[in-house]
């Protein structure tokens, strides 16, 4: 006798195939199906036929990106000191979201190149370069002026050199 989990999986697989056939479900996404009674999910290990009531139960269908493994170099900040290691950390950190199926990052390559340039130009750590590059990207699309706020004096100086309005909250 099939369980709720068995039927949820089978329905999700069938819906995914159909939606991919119509070009509606992009690669990198999965269909999720859950049985509910009221606002509560039904137990997945329960037998379907014994507890299904079309008058009170419902089937909810959702879509989510497929989960990816996160590399340890990206998950935790690196304590590297050499420019090559900082650069490698930055490239790995930027490559992960750029490679996610179903997403488009329009300015990511420009953002990456800007961050790499900030590392070379100001000898910044990878995460500092990402913060500065993010503000430079934002400056090109922001409707209003903004202030770069950072307590790191080296990063403040880099921001000022890039003609950003900057503020050190510790000053």
Q: Which of 21, 43, 65 marks a domain boundary?
A: 65
Can you read off the two tokens belonging to residue 34?
A: 């859950």
Residues 45 and 95 reside in one and the same domain: no
pLDDT value, residue 118: 94
Residues 38 and 113 reside in one and the same domain: no
Residues 76 and 143 reside in one and the same domain: yes
Domain count, the chain: 2
> For 78-123, how does the pLDDT look when each residue is reduced to its tens digit (9 = 90+)?
454 577 777 777 777 766 665 666 544 545 677 888 899 999 999 9
d(CA 140, CA 99): 24
Given a contact cutoff of 8 angstroms between Cβ atoms, the answer to whether 70 and 62 are in contact is: no
Residues 61 and 103 reside in one and the same domain: no
d(CA 112, CA 130): 8
State the average pLDDT over residues 8-37.
88
d(CA 125, CA 88): 11
Residues 50 and 79 reside in one and the same domain: no
> For 161-170, how does the pLDDT look when each residue is reduced to its tens digit (9 = 90+)?
999 999 999 8
pLDDT value, residue 82: 75
Residues 97 and 153 reside in one and the same domain: yes
Residues 121 and 39 reside in one and the same domain: no
Q: Which domain holds residue 38?
A: 4-65
Residues 122 and 162 reside in one and the same domain: yes
167-to-115, 135, 149, 150, 159 alpha-carbon distances in Å: 20, 13, 5, 6, 10
Residues 39 and 55 reside in one and the same domain: yes
d(CA 4, CA 35): 7
Residues 36 and 93 reside in one and the same domain: no
Residues 106 and 161 reside in one and the same domain: yes
pLDDT value, residue 119: 93
> For 42-84, how does the pLDDT look when each residue is reduced to its tens digit (9 = 90+)?
888 888 888 888 889 999 998 888 775 544 444 444 454 577 7
Parallel/antiparallel/unpaired status of strands 148-149 and 166-167: parallel
Specify burial of residue 93 (Cβ count, 10 A radius: 0-12, 13-18, 19+).
buried
Q: Which of 65, 88, 110 marks a domain boundary?
A: 65
Residues 163 and 80 reside in one and the same domain: yes
pLDDT value, residue 70: 44
Q: Which of 43, 65, 87 marks a domain boundary?
A: 65
Specify burial of residue 44 (Cβ count, 10 A radius: 0-12, 13-18, 19+).
middle
Cα atoms in the 13 Å half-sphere on the side-chain side of 78:
22
d(CA 152, CA 129): 12
> For 149-161, how does the pLDDT look when each residue is reduced to its tens digit (9 = 90+)?
999 999 999 999 9
């Amino acid at each position: 006798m099939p369980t709720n989990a068995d039927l949820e999986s089978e329905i999700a697989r069938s819906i995914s195939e159909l939606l991919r056939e119509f070009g509606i479900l992009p690669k990198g996404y999965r269909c999720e199906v859950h049985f509910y009674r009221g606002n509560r999910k039904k137990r997945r290990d329960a037998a379907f036929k014994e507890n299904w009531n079309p008058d009170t139960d419902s089937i909810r269908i959702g879509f989510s990106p497929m989960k990816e493994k996160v590399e340890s170099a990206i998950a935790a900040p690196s304590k590297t000191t050499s420019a090559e290691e900082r650069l490698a950390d930055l490239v790995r950190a930027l490559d992960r979201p750029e490679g996610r199926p179903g997403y488009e990052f329009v300015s990511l390559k420009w953002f990456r190149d800007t961050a790499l340039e900030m590392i070379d130009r100001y000898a910044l750590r990878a995460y500092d370069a990402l913060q500065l590059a993010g503000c430079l990207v934002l400056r090109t699309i922001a409707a209003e002026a903004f202030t770069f706020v950072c307590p790191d004096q080296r990063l403040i100086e880099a921001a000022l050199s890039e003609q950003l309005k900057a503020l050190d909250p510790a000053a």
